[in-house]
Chain A
């Protein structure tokens, strides 16, 4: 049974989008294999970028943007699978147990503080910041609400990455405290 969701698709634009995306990805693959110069590399990325337009023509503005990376990923996986040495892949591998080496010991307290910072503290800090923005923003309620949700789920992961990777823990800690205070000040100013 045909899907209702494909009834409005333009087949010509879809074919063009598929061909352009595939051509761009194949070119990217050839550049990688033959170590071609940056001109070809940029050309390949250019074709991929241009292919977004027929994807949008075929499927609609937002659906086109959603489907294009799926297709690119599929073509990339096919190219990787096609170039892989499957004979070697079918052999089992052996994992040798190495000699025990003294590992760098991170103090338990420091490790806990890092996780505490990345998890609950930065959740509080980014929520505070986002709520501060919500209070200050002149956008409509719907835009502020969805904007706040999106900011939160992007800012918090960025903070997690930073606080779990920065060797000087005091920097993310200081930023966290500043964000919490800043967020509270913004909310207080508006009287939330």
Chain B
């Protein structure tokens, strides 16, 4: 029995070592991916927030779609002689009440009549989604790296569960009055355990999405003579072969009517015309499926609106349906605002779990007499610096049209460098939080100054409301921490002089 217990504790120790080693290796990038993902749950709302003055509606006049499609094709033809590969039309509905048309490089909002309005300009939201999906790296490299981080997160969840034999015994304990390590460990473990199904779902779907291109390439190389399109054609509708011969633009309104009559319970929300305005053109209509996780059902139609085939995302083979369900499950877009808020909350919990995980390792090093003070401060610089520079990137974009990509990454680097240079971790953490509060307030004021009443209108209300809630929560924490600092100034100073650290 004793031998069995010994073997068990040795296994737990090794599993814990593996869990900490892996967590440490992935911590910074994983934190940025999880944090940006938690914010990006609201990417459709951020798109609306970036351009709050755009007209919003859910009904449009007959012929508006064809009119808007022809207008954007004409706009693109003025820009370049090269015909566009695709014409994309986003149809307004309750969750995204905006009518958007894209052809090649041209994109614009349209009104209910089909007249083009303001150009589409979601630069900051695109940066945010790129940060989460690719860590701002070029497409395949970034997706693969984030996919590998997803695999790492799956390993961390499984390893974390194996490393904690008292998982059920401690299921609800949060010992705030214990030692620093116990506090952090309790926060890390409780958040980790109860959000593990959520973390696993996100990590597995994220890993599949991230690694799909590489995996598709491997399968194509081994079994399809290097033809990636042939390898994945069972999942998607195929693109037509370009002919380059001009033809009148496909009748998109007729295609939409065909889909509506075919599946009246579905909500068509996008139309894609492949090779538009040529004899090869083919229309694809995407429709939301009620009560399902699948992203959409896609129908392929000819230029006159006659049905050719469907992708089978809602009623096809199990593999196709599972694949089609991964995106909504990953993005949290399947139950309206309440599910998005749950994703935000649990995502924030996952961020705290990652941040606490890193801190546990650092505290353990310190308690063993092997502190890494610079790394401790750098970690604070990443954990609180990331939200700060994300807000600064939005301020830079709105205020001076600075590219958010550079503001974010240069800002994060500066945050870490400054954090390492500043001697006191407590003041550093409070300072970063204080800066975060100020930055959010500046962003709110800037948004109000730029967009006036539209900043409190339906398109921007949610995001600005969430920003106000964030200000209140971070301010509360700053106020509490400042109170401790003022009260215990002498303790903190004496700790600093004796090489110890106070933390919050």
Contact = CB atoms under 8 A, between A and B. Distances in A.
Contact of B171 (A32, A144, A154): A32
A63 B335 contact: yes
A4 B318 CA distance: 25
Interface stretch (B74-82, B190-198, B249-257, B464-472): B190-198
B456 interface: no
Contact of A93 (B219, B339, B343, B502): B502
Interface stretch (B117-125, B127-135, B284-292): B284-292
A76 B481 CA distance: 27
Name the residue among A62, A85, A93, A95 with the largest chain B CB count within 10 angstroms: A95
A88 B180 CA distance: 12
Contacts of A157: 151-152, 154-155, 158
Contacts of B325: 62
A4 B484 contact: no
Interface in B187-236: 190-191, 194-195, 197-198, 201, 204, 207-208, 211-212, 215-216, 218-219, 222-223, 231-235
A174 interface: no
Interface in A65-98: 66-67, 69-74, 76-77, 79-81, 83-86, 88-98
A94 B425 CA distance: 12
B172 A76 contact: yes
A150 to B, nearest CB: 7
A110 interface: no
B502 A131 contact: no
Interface residues of B, number: 101
Contacts of A145: 216, 219, 231-232, 234-235, 319, 323
Contact of B223 (A99, A103, A135, A156): A135
B18 to A, nearest CB: 3
B176 interface: yes
Contacts of B288: 4-5
A83 B172 contact: yes
Contacts of B10: 167
A165 B18 contact: yes
A96 B500 contact: yes
B161 to A, nearest CB: 10
Contact of B346 (A70, A86, A147, A153): A70
Contacts of B6: none
Contacts of A176: none
B218 A127 contact: yes
Nearest to B222: A192
Nearest to B370: A100
B61 interface: no
A153 B336 contact: no
Contact of A80 (B150, B151, B172, B495): B172
B198 A95 contact: no
A26 to B, nearest CB: 11
Contacts of B154: 153-154, 157
A141 B235 CA distance: 9
Interface in A37-57: none
A149 B291 CA distance: 25
Contacts of B95: 1, 3-5
Contacts of A77: 190-191, 194, 349
A136 to B, nearest CB: 12
A158 B158 contact: yes
18 contacts: A29-B172, A70-B342, A73-B194, A77-B191, A92-B502, A92-B503, A93-B503, A139-B319, A148-B215, A149-B212, A152-B215, A160-B159, A161-B158, A164-B18, A164-B19, A164-B21, A164-B155, A166-B14
Interface of A: 1-8, 28-29, 32-33, 59-60, 62-63, 66-67, 69-74, 76-77, 79-81, 83-86, 88-101, 103, 115, 118, 127, 131, 134-135, 139-150, 152-154, 156-158, 160-161, 164-167, 187, 192
Given A85-B176, A90-B480, 15 more contacts: A1-B97, A3-B95, A4-B93, A73-B195, A73-B349, A91-B484, A97-B369, A97-B501, A98-B367, A143-B319, A145-B232, A145-B323, A149-B323, A150-B322, A154-B154
